Structure 1
Amino acid sequence: MASDEPTPRKVYHERQHFELCALHALNNVFQDPNAFSKEQLDEIYQFLNFIVYILIQNFTDISILICLADYLYCQSSITLCLFIINLSIKFTLQSKHRLAPDAVLNPHKSVLGTGNYDVNVIMSVLQSKGHAAVWWDKRRSLERLCLTNIKGFILNIPSTIGWGVLTIPLKRRHWIGVRAIDNIYYNLDSKLKQPEIIGEALQLKKFLAKKLSSKNCELLLIVSSEVEVGREWKVG
């Protein structure tokens, strides 16, 4: 007799390739190998580097930024335009918070050219898909998470670089994707051989609490643009 139970969905899990953990985390959260590409992330980081270059030069003539904003408006890239304005303000104020990488010459991507994109690239590429990354304030209780309105999570944690059995003592950062599939949450860390079952909502909050107990761990909520605007990712 045929079973009435639904067939469990197959969990998509991208494994680590070079330093493309940000790309893997994004595709794992979206459960789609074609959601984002290295070419997309590279294009965005090049664009952001141009903006950073302008800011570093301490331009007093804002005509360049006005022309850029006008171009983005004509391209219907309103969200990217607003993002660039926010980014400009952040760099102007010399923000200390940069999640990854730790490269000096390039604030958005590893100097090796192999990936390890920072949070600005992730935020921008998500906007191109009608989504947003919301930084979670660790002072908040995880009970305030409105899980039904959150597509997934991306964690940023300290990491070491390995080459075979050799561990290279360099300070790096690593992106990890987490999301629910059929109401079960999975750790989709690209460094794992296979997805790791976390459990249901209670187990998820325990998992996140343990990760966030480290002062060097940061959490991003991946939500739709509508949820971000309405701040519907939290309760109360």
Structure 2
Amino acid sequence: MDDEKVEIYHERQRLQFCLLHSLNNLFQEKDAFTRSDLNKVAEKLDVDDPNRRSWNPVSLVFRPHHNEITGNYDINVLIAALQQKAKTVVWHDKRNVASSIDLDDPLMGIVLNVPVTKFSGLWKSRHWVTLRCIQGVWYNLDSDFAAPYAFKDTQQLREFLDRIITAGAEVLLVMNDKR
């Protein structure tokens, strides 16, 4: 067995930029995406939207696909950003258990959108989290964690996925495009 320590890139949470952190954790690279990159993706989605709403003063901060100040990007930004890197997103059907997910190639990783409740239930939102296999080990790279969490095996990973699906999480499979 190789005693070499595995280097894992893990970005920590800042404001509501969990999608940015999740993408950089997915690609294992500090600036795979920047805030500017995701803002441009969100702005392009807005410009290309045939049902685009008219401008109002609130539009300066609360954009259709993100919050200009805190981040908080939506699923459309995730999908468009990943398409720029030749990746596709497949939504896991929540009616199926996690054992139905093929954890092998062409799967690059898993992005979760999990419900979050804070302040005794007064604040409800959602949080982006990345799961990624690095050198044969699956890790939870949640930006709220102080460090990556290694699953002991794929069974533990699947049990985790089943629990969070039951709790209302969305499971998005990030696939490498076959070119």
Check whether TM > 0.5. Answer: yes
Partner amino acid, structure 1, of 2:51: L
Distance 2:153 2:136 in 1: 6
Residue in 2 aligned with 1:11?
Answer: 8
After superposition, the CA RMSD in angstroms is 2.2
Distance 1:207 1:170 in 2: 24
SS of equivalent residue, structure 2 residue 115: strand
SS of equivalent residue, structure 2 residue 104: helix
In structure 2, list runs of 5 or more residues that go unmatched.
54-61
Q: 2:153 matched to 1:197?
A: no
Distance 1:124 1:56 in 2: 17
Between structures 1 and 2, the one with greater helix share = 1
Structure 1 segment 21-60 matched on structure 2, within 5 A: 21-52=18-49, 54-56=50-52
SS of equivalent residue, structure 1 residue 151: strand
Partner amino acid, structure 1, of 2:89: A
Instruction: Provide Cα deviations, 1:153-180, integer angstroms capped at 9, x if missing partner.
Output: 111011246xxxx779332211001111
Instruction: Provide Cα deviations, 1:55-103, integer angstroms capped at 9, x if missing partner.
Output: 146xxxxxxxxxxxxxxxxxxxxxxxxxxxxxxxxxxxxxxxxxxxxxx
Distance 1:190 1:160 in 2: 16
In structure 1, list runs of 5 or more residues that go unmatched.
58-104, 228-236
Residue in 2 aligned with 1:114?
Answer: 70
Instruction: Provide Cα deviations, 1:13-64, integer angstroms capped at 9, x if missing partner.
Output: 1000111100101111111112111111000101111233x4146xxxxxxx
Distance 2:78 2:15 in 1: 17
